[in-house]
Amino acid sequence: MKRPHSRLPRMRAEGLVIHELPDEVLIYDQTTDQAHCLNHTAALVWHACNGRLAPAQIAGKLTKKLHVEVPEEMVLLALLDLERIHLLEPEETGPVSFAGLTRRQMVRALGLTAAVVLPAVTTIMAPTPAQASSCISPGQPCSPVKLCCTSCNPTTPAGPRCI
């Protein structure tokens, strides 16, 4: 696996709305209108990106915190994901890249350990203001997913309908 060139990753904080939850971190990027959910491991990697720690040092820090061996390659995968969604400060030396294990190959190689510590980043596009304000007109079927402009009557003979 190709190692990054002595890179010390730094987390980006500008233009982000960050919401910490017990086992994950939700981040809304105001510049791209994307929302990201970092699982516990990816969040720990991101928080460790202070510009003073190399990926191997971040792996050591996570190993101590999680009480399970976290290989540097797993940290590199998390850094690639974080860089792809622009949650790391850009580097003059260019992006981190490596040829080697895919996420699937790493899960096979690490077995059960991977299920515990594999970093995961999920991204969704935030709706536009017009999409966010869309609602269903009266008489249409409604549900917790399909919101009415007024209210939903769950007891109509034809099933739940907007009133």
pLDDT tens for 16-65 read 999 999 889 999 999 888 899 999 999 999 999 999 999 999 999 999 99
Chain-centre distance of CA 142, in angstroms? 31
Domain-located, residue 109: yes
Number of domains in the chain: 2
Domain-located, residue 97: yes
Note whether 89 and 12 are within 8 A (CB).
Answer: yes
DSSP letter, residue 35:
E
Residue 64, both tokens: 């101590």
In which domain, by residue range, is 161 found? Answer: 127-163
Note whether 7 and 82 are within 8 A (CB).
Answer: no
Closest CA to 82 of 163, 157, 13, 159: 13
Residue 145, both tokens: 């997913």
Q: Which of 24-38, 105-119, 142-156 has the highest mean pLDDT?
A: 24-38
- Across the chain, mean pLDDT equals 79
pTM for this structure? 0.64
Question: In this structure, are 89 and 155 located in the same domain?
Answer: no
Question: In this structure, are 158 and 120 located in the same domain?
Answer: no
CATH code at position 106: 1.10.10
Question: In this structure, are 148 and 68 located in the same domain?
Answer: no
The mean pLDDT value for 74-96 works out to 81
